[in-house]
Amino acid sequence: MRTDTVDHPLAATLLSTMRDARSDNATFRNALRDLTGILIYEALRDAPVVRAPIDTPVAVTEGVRLAAPPLLVPVLRAGLGMVYAAADLVPQARVGFVGIARDEQTHEPVPYLESLPEDLTGLPVFVLDPMLATGGSMLYTLELLAARRATDITAVCVVSAPEGVAALADSGLPVRLITAAVDEELNENAYIVPGLGDAGDRQFGPR
Ligand code: PRP
Ligand code: URA
Protein backbone atom coordinates (compact mmCIF):
# COMPACT_ATOMS: atom_id res chain seq x y z
CA MET A 1 0.00 0.00 0.00
CA ARG A 2 1.25 3.46 -0.86
CA THR A 3 1.59 5.74 2.19
CA ASP A 4 2.41 9.43 1.71
CA THR A 5 3.43 11.27 4.87
CA VAL A 6 3.14 15.00 4.22
CA ASP A 7 6.39 16.71 5.15
CA HIS A 8 5.85 20.48 5.24
CA PRO A 9 6.56 23.08 7.95
CA LEU A 10 3.00 24.43 7.81
CA ALA A 11 1.55 20.95 8.21
CA ALA A 12 3.89 20.38 11.16
CA THR A 13 2.85 23.61 12.91
CA LEU A 14 -0.86 22.87 12.46
CA LEU A 15 -0.36 19.32 13.73
CA SER A 16 1.50 20.71 16.76
CA THR A 17 -1.50 22.94 17.54
CA MET A 18 -3.77 19.89 17.33
CA ARG A 19 -1.49 17.79 19.56
CA ASP A 20 -1.20 20.53 22.21
CA ALA A 21 -3.53 19.68 25.11
CA ARG A 22 -3.96 23.42 25.79
CA SER A 23 -5.71 24.02 22.44
CA ASP A 24 -9.43 24.58 23.04
CA ASN A 25 -12.18 23.12 20.80
CA ALA A 26 -12.25 26.08 18.40
CA THR A 27 -8.47 26.23 18.06
CA PHE A 28 -8.37 22.50 17.43
CA ARG A 29 -11.14 22.70 14.79
CA ASN A 30 -9.43 25.56 12.97
CA ALA A 31 -6.10 23.73 12.85
CA LEU A 32 -7.83 20.56 11.60
CA ARG A 33 -9.59 22.55 8.87
CA ASP A 34 -6.36 24.15 7.66
CA LEU A 35 -4.36 20.92 7.84
CA THR A 36 -7.07 19.10 5.90
CA GLY A 37 -6.55 21.59 3.07
CA ILE A 38 -2.88 20.63 2.90
CA LEU A 39 -3.67 16.90 2.99
CA ILE A 40 -6.26 17.25 0.21
CA TYR A 41 -3.78 19.26 -1.85
CA GLU A 42 -1.32 16.36 -1.55
CA ALA A 43 -4.01 13.74 -2.18
CA LEU A 44 -4.81 15.41 -5.51
CA ARG A 45 -1.20 15.92 -6.59
CA ASP A 46 -1.37 13.30 -9.37
CA ALA A 47 -5.08 13.66 -10.16
CA PRO A 48 -5.86 13.52 -13.89
CA VAL A 49 -7.12 16.75 -15.44
CA VAL A 50 -9.08 17.67 -18.54
CA ARG A 51 -7.69 20.52 -20.62
CA ALA A 52 -9.89 22.93 -22.55
CA PRO A 53 -9.51 26.45 -23.91
CA ILE A 54 -10.66 29.33 -21.69
CA ASP A 55 -10.87 33.05 -22.33
CA THR A 56 -8.94 35.29 -20.00
CA PRO A 57 -9.90 38.98 -20.22
CA VAL A 58 -6.92 39.29 -22.58
CA ALA A 59 -6.53 36.10 -24.65
CA VAL A 60 -7.44 32.46 -25.10
CA THR A 61 -5.35 30.02 -23.07
CA GLU A 62 -5.50 26.44 -21.86
CA GLY A 63 -7.56 25.81 -18.71
CA VAL A 64 -7.78 22.63 -16.62
CA ARG A 65 -10.37 20.96 -14.43
CA LEU A 66 -10.26 17.72 -12.44
CA ALA A 67 -11.22 14.83 -14.72
CA ALA A 68 -12.95 13.00 -11.85
CA PRO A 69 -13.70 14.96 -8.66
CA PRO A 70 -13.64 12.50 -5.74
CA LEU A 71 -16.55 11.46 -3.56
CA LEU A 72 -15.76 12.76 -0.07
CA VAL A 73 -16.70 10.41 2.79
CA PRO A 74 -16.22 11.86 6.29
CA VAL A 75 -16.36 9.25 9.06
CA LEU A 76 -18.56 10.78 11.78
CA ARG A 77 -18.06 12.36 14.17
CA ALA A 78 -14.44 13.37 13.87
CA GLY A 79 -14.35 13.42 10.06
CA LEU A 80 -16.94 16.22 10.08
CA GLY A 81 -14.16 18.66 10.86
CA MET A 82 -12.49 17.83 7.54
CA VAL A 83 -15.37 17.82 5.09
CA TYR A 84 -15.91 21.55 4.50
CA ALA A 85 -12.21 22.21 3.98
CA ALA A 86 -12.12 19.41 1.41
CA ALA A 87 -15.34 20.50 -0.31
CA ASP A 88 -14.13 24.10 -0.47
CA LEU A 89 -11.07 22.94 -2.44
CA VAL A 90 -13.09 20.57 -4.65
CA PRO A 91 -16.47 22.27 -5.05
CA GLN A 92 -17.67 19.69 -7.60
CA ALA A 93 -17.21 16.85 -5.09
CA ARG A 94 -20.20 14.86 -3.86
CA VAL A 95 -20.31 13.89 -0.18
CA GLY A 96 -21.34 10.58 1.40
CA PHE A 97 -21.39 9.78 5.12
CA VAL A 98 -20.44 6.90 7.39
CA GLY A 99 -21.03 7.03 11.16
CA ILE A 100 -18.96 4.80 13.43
CA ALA A 101 -18.28 4.93 17.18
CA ARG A 102 -15.49 2.75 18.50
CA ASP A 103 -16.49 0.55 21.46
CA GLU A 104 -14.38 1.79 24.37
CA GLN A 105 -13.87 -1.71 25.84
CA THR A 106 -13.30 -3.86 22.77
CA HIS A 107 -12.06 -1.05 20.44
CA GLU A 108 -14.20 -2.60 17.70
CA PRO A 109 -16.05 -0.27 15.30
CA VAL A 110 -19.79 0.09 15.97
CA PRO A 111 -21.46 1.52 12.84
CA TYR A 112 -24.61 3.66 13.19
CA LEU A 113 -25.00 5.50 9.87
CA GLU A 114 -24.39 4.81 6.19
CA SER A 115 -25.35 7.24 3.43
CA LEU A 116 -23.46 6.46 0.24
CA PRO A 117 -24.19 6.27 -3.49
CA GLU A 118 -25.08 2.69 -4.50
CA ASP A 119 -22.55 2.36 -7.33
CA LEU A 120 -19.04 3.81 -7.00
CA THR A 121 -17.67 2.27 -10.19
CA GLY A 122 -14.97 4.53 -11.63
CA LEU A 123 -15.34 7.17 -8.90
CA PRO A 124 -12.32 8.11 -6.78
CA VAL A 125 -13.23 8.19 -3.08
CA PHE A 126 -11.50 10.18 -0.31
CA VAL A 127 -12.30 8.88 3.19
CA LEU A 128 -11.82 11.65 5.77
CA ASP A 129 -10.98 10.67 9.35
CA PRO A 130 -8.40 12.46 11.51
CA MET A 131 -7.37 9.26 13.32
CA LEU A 132 -6.19 5.86 12.06
CA ALA A 133 -5.59 3.88 15.26
CA THR A 134 -6.26 0.11 15.14
CA GLY A 135 -7.62 0.66 11.63
CA GLY A 136 -10.93 -1.02 12.49
CA SER A 137 -13.11 1.99 11.63
CA MET A 138 -11.27 2.64 8.37
CA LEU A 139 -11.38 -1.03 7.33
CA TYR A 140 -15.12 -1.15 7.99
CA THR A 141 -15.54 1.95 5.78
CA LEU A 142 -13.29 0.57 3.04
CA GLU A 143 -15.31 -2.64 2.93
CA LEU A 144 -18.53 -0.65 2.50
CA LEU A 145 -16.94 1.23 -0.38
CA ALA A 146 -15.45 -1.87 -2.01
CA ALA A 147 -18.87 -3.57 -1.84
CA ARG A 148 -20.13 -0.64 -3.95
CA ARG A 149 -17.34 -1.33 -6.47
CA ALA A 150 -14.96 1.48 -5.49
CA THR A 151 -11.47 0.66 -6.74
CA ASP A 152 -9.67 3.98 -6.19
CA ILE A 153 -9.79 4.90 -2.49
CA THR A 154 -7.64 7.38 -0.56
CA ALA A 155 -7.70 7.42 3.24
CA VAL A 156 -6.95 10.98 4.41
CA CYS A 157 -5.90 10.85 8.08
CA VAL A 158 -4.12 13.42 10.23
CA VAL A 159 -2.43 10.98 12.64
CA SER A 160 -1.86 7.29 11.97
CA ALA A 161 -0.57 4.49 14.17
CA PRO A 162 1.77 1.85 12.73
CA GLU A 163 -0.85 -0.77 13.68
CA GLY A 164 -3.50 0.97 11.55
CA VAL A 165 -1.14 1.42 8.60
CA ALA A 166 -0.29 -2.30 8.76
CA ALA A 167 -3.98 -3.25 8.97
CA LEU A 168 -4.72 -1.30 5.78
CA ALA A 169 -1.69 -2.75 3.99
CA ASP A 170 -2.63 -6.31 5.01
CA SER A 171 -6.27 -5.89 3.94
CA GLY A 172 -5.54 -6.13 0.23
CA LEU A 173 -8.17 -3.43 -0.33
CA PRO A 174 -7.52 -0.79 -3.02
CA VAL A 175 -6.44 2.05 -0.75
CA ARG A 176 -3.60 4.52 -0.39
CA LEU A 177 -2.97 6.62 2.71
CA ILE A 178 -2.23 10.34 2.96
CA THR A 179 -1.29 11.33 6.50
CA ALA A 180 0.48 14.11 8.38
CA ALA A 181 2.22 11.70 10.79
CA VAL A 182 2.78 8.05 11.55
CA ASP A 183 3.17 8.04 15.35
CA GLU A 184 4.92 5.58 17.66
CA GLU A 185 2.31 3.10 18.86
CA LEU A 186 -1.07 2.47 20.46
CA ASN A 187 -1.44 2.45 24.26
CA GLU A 188 -3.47 -0.05 26.31
CA ASN A 189 -6.68 1.87 25.47
CA ALA A 190 -5.85 1.77 21.73
CA TYR A 191 -5.14 5.51 21.73
CA ILE A 192 -2.39 6.76 19.46
CA VAL A 193 0.84 7.78 21.27
CA PRO A 194 1.80 10.60 21.29
CA GLY A 195 -1.33 11.32 19.21
CA LEU A 196 -3.71 14.13 20.07
CA GLY A 197 -6.33 12.45 22.26
CA ASP A 198 -9.92 11.87 21.18
CA ALA A 199 -10.35 13.78 17.92
CA GLY A 200 -14.15 13.89 18.26
CA ASP A 201 -14.07 15.22 21.83
CA ARG A 202 -11.33 17.72 21.00
CA GLN A 203 -13.53 19.24 18.27
CA PHE A 204 -16.98 19.01 19.82
CA GLY A 205 -16.50 18.34 23.53
CA PRO A 206 -17.08 15.05 25.37
CA ARG A 207 -20.14 12.97 24.46
C1 PRP B 1 -12.20 7.80 16.35
C2 PRP B 1 -11.61 8.27 15.04
C3 PRP B 1 -11.73 7.06 14.15
C4 PRP B 1 -11.52 5.93 15.14
C5 PRP B 1 -10.13 5.41 14.99
O6 PRP B 1 -13.58 7.87 16.29
O7 PRP B 1 -12.23 9.41 14.53
O8 PRP B 1 -12.97 6.96 13.49
O9 PRP B 1 -11.72 6.47 16.44
O10 PRP B 1 -9.93 4.29 15.75
P11 PRP B 1 -9.68 2.84 15.11
O12 PRP B 1 -8.69 3.03 14.01
O13 PRP B 1 -9.14 2.04 16.25
O14 PRP B 1 -10.99 2.33 14.61
P15 PRP B 1 -14.51 7.46 17.55
O16 PRP B 1 -14.92 6.02 17.41
O17 PRP B 1 -13.85 7.86 18.81
O18 PRP B 1 -15.82 8.29 17.29
P19 PRP B 1 -16.04 9.88 17.16
O20 PRP B 1 -15.48 10.29 15.84
O21 PRP B 1 -17.52 9.99 17.22
O22 PRP B 1 -15.36 10.55 18.32
N1 URA C 1 -9.59 7.67 18.25
C2 URA C 1 -9.16 8.91 18.60
O3 URA C 1 -9.90 9.90 18.49
N4 URA C 1 -7.90 9.03 19.06
C5 URA C 1 -7.06 7.99 19.18
O6 URA C 1 -5.89 8.18 19.60
C7 URA C 1 -7.53 6.72 18.82
C8 URA C 1 -8.79 6.59 18.35
* ipTM metric: 0.99
Partners of 61 in the beta sheet?
A: 54
**147 CB contacts (<8 Å, ≥6 apart)?**
none
Neighbours of 30 (CB within 10 A): 15
Residue 174's alpha-carbon distances to 42, 72, 75, 129, 149, in angstroms, are: 18, 16, 18, 17, 10
User: Cα torsion for 198, 159, 123, 119, to the nearest 10°?
Assistant: -30
| Distance from C-alpha of 155 to C-alpha of 67, rounded to nearest angstrom | 20
- Segment 83-109 mean pLDDT: 98
Name the residue with the closest Cα to ligand 2, atom 1: 198
- Amino acid code (one letter) for 198: D
CA 173, distance to chain mean position in Å, is: 16
201 CA distance to ligand 1 centroid (A)?
10
pLDDT digits (tens, 9 = 90+) for 24-70: 999 999 999 999 999 999 999 999 999 999 999 999 999 999 999 99
Ligand at minimal distance from the CA of 102 is: 1
- Output the pLDDT for position 26: 98
Contact 155, 129 (CB under 8 A): yes
**72 CB contacts (<8 Å, ≥6 apart)?**
83, 86, 87, 90, 93, 94, 95, 96, 126, 128
- Output the pLDDT for position 68: 98
Instruction: Find the catalytic residue in 19, 33, 102, 202.
Output: 102
Q: What CATH number labels 3-50+66-204?
A: 3.40.50.2020
In the chain, the percentage of residues whose pLDDT exceeds 90 is 100
| Distance from C-alpha of 62 to C-alpha of 64, rounded to nearest angstrom | 7
**Is position 198 annotated as part of the catalytic site?**
yes
SS3 content of the chain, % helix, strand, coil (to 5): 35, 30, 35
